[in-house]
Amino acid sequence: MDSCVPIPANSDFTLSNMPYGIFSTESEPNRRVGVAIGEHILDLSKVGCFCGPILSKCCHVFKEESLHDFMELGPAAWSEARQTIHKLLSSSEGMLRDNTNLSKKALIPQAEARLHLPAKIGDLTDFSASKKHAENDRIMFTDDNLQINQNWNYMPVAYHSRASSIIPSGTAIRRPNGQRLSSTGIVTFGPTEQLDFEVELGALIGRGNDLGRPIPVDDAEKHVFGMVLLNDWSARDMQSWEWKPLGCFLSKSYATTISPWVVTMEALQPFRCDMLDVQKPTPLPYLQHRIPSTFDISLHVHLSTEGAESVTRLSTTNYKVTPTTK
């Protein structure tokens, strides 16, 4: 189906995607909810077309400064919103296509918008979801001969990081200071000399659960609103000195970058697939999925340095091969 909004041939923001974000403009500085389509943002606070059984009673969520309230409505509301927005943006629907005043008011050029954090983030859980990633950690911080801990093969291994340091892509980052242990055994303090990146995917949780009540694994995805790209900035020299015995602290607390656009789980369904490798040993029953539980998402890392005429590709991978999720 074609869109009534022009979409460049190489655009990621198609009718199949329609990611959510929070934006503002110079002429209207209040933050509100939008959907990316082509080179524009559809301002959901302006369209007034949510008349379904759920959103007709709570369409105010699209005027909020965060996706938080919308995310808490759950998957039925998310699906209702997606269907409504898809219909509104289609070339066969006249509400936006034939209404010049509405189009002018509700379609904002992305070049004129400022993007913000998409949600209020109360907690950040960092999972070591890729075996290769876990093995590389061992090599980086111990030695090549040590195997990953046995528990990694049986359970989700994670730690809680600092949610207050999560920032949207494009935010300037200050190089952190901390202690480092030199190769000669001398402890020094100063700016990290091993600033590193990690390309990951972040999962934004919508509805939570009651305290102490576990979520069955087959129901877990009903709580996941969508995915963002995530850069887990790390100061490796500080990390290797401070991580024992309680884990990372200042080496990972200064910045975690996420993309301002959230791709919903419904948009990702065409890319659902099985893992390439069968997990061994078989997970305990409470962790076994009945449906394919990963996605075919290509991930690329490019480096652009000051004065460089072009970007340099550093890495290419796929989420179904080496997933690392927050």
- Per-residue pLDDT tens digits for 81-116: 999 999 999 999 888 999 999 999 999 999 999 999
- Closest of 218, 219, 147, 205 to residue 326, by C-alpha: 205
Higher confidence at residue 28 or residue 319? 28
Q: Give the pLDDT mean for 287-302.
A: 88
Q: Binding site for Ca(2+): which residues? A: 126, 198, 200, 232
CA dist., res. 253 & res. 261, Å (int): 23
Q: How many distinct helices (H) and strands (E) make up the chain?
A: 8, 20
Higher confidence at residue 324 or residue 150? 150
Higher confidence at residue 94 or residue 254? 254
Q: What integer best gives the mean pLDDT of the chain?
A: 91
User: From residue 189, how far is each of 176, 211, 234 by CA, in Å?
Assistant: 11, 41, 16
For residue 220, what are the contacts with CB-CB under 8 A and spacing of at least 6?
Answer: none
CA dist., res. 300 & res. 197, Å (int): 13
Question: CB of 205 within 8 A of CB of 235?
Answer: no
Residue 226 has pLDDT above 70, yes or no: yes
pLDDT band at 139 (very low <50, low <70, confident <90, very high): confident
pLDDT in tens, 168-189: 999 999 999 999 999 899 999 9
- Closest of 40, 34, 49, 45 to residue 4, by C-alpha: 40
pLDDT for the residue numbered 109? 97
Q: Binding site: which residues? A: 126, 198, 200, 232, 239, 252, 256
Per-residue DSSP letter, 148: P
pLDDT for the residue numbered 145? 65
Ordered structural domains, the chain, with CATH: 20-116 (2.30.30.230), 124-318 (3.90.850.10)
Among 12-16, 55-59, 303-307, 320-324, the least confident range: 320-324
Q: Give the pLDDT mean for 242-263.
A: 91
Among 107-116, 184-193, 235-244, 316-325, the least confident range: 316-325
Q: Binding site for Mg(2+): which residues? A: 232, 252, 256
- Terminus-to-terminus CA distance in the chain, angstroms? 33
CA dist., res. 25 & res. 266, Å (int): 28
pLDDT band at 142 (very low <50, low <70, confident <90, very high): low
pLDDT in tens, 28-84: 999 999 999 999 999 999 998 899 999 999 999 999 999 999 999 999 999 999 999
Active-site choice (86, 116, 133, 289): 133
Q: Give the pLDDT mean for 262-282.
A: 90
pLDDT for the residue numbered 259? 97
CA dist., res. 295 & res. 317, Å (int): 12
- 40 catalytic residue (yes or no): no
Instruction: Count CA atoms closer than 13 A to 274's CA, side-chain side.
Output: 6
CA dist., res. 27 & res. 72, Å (int): 30
* pTM to 2 decimal places: 0.92
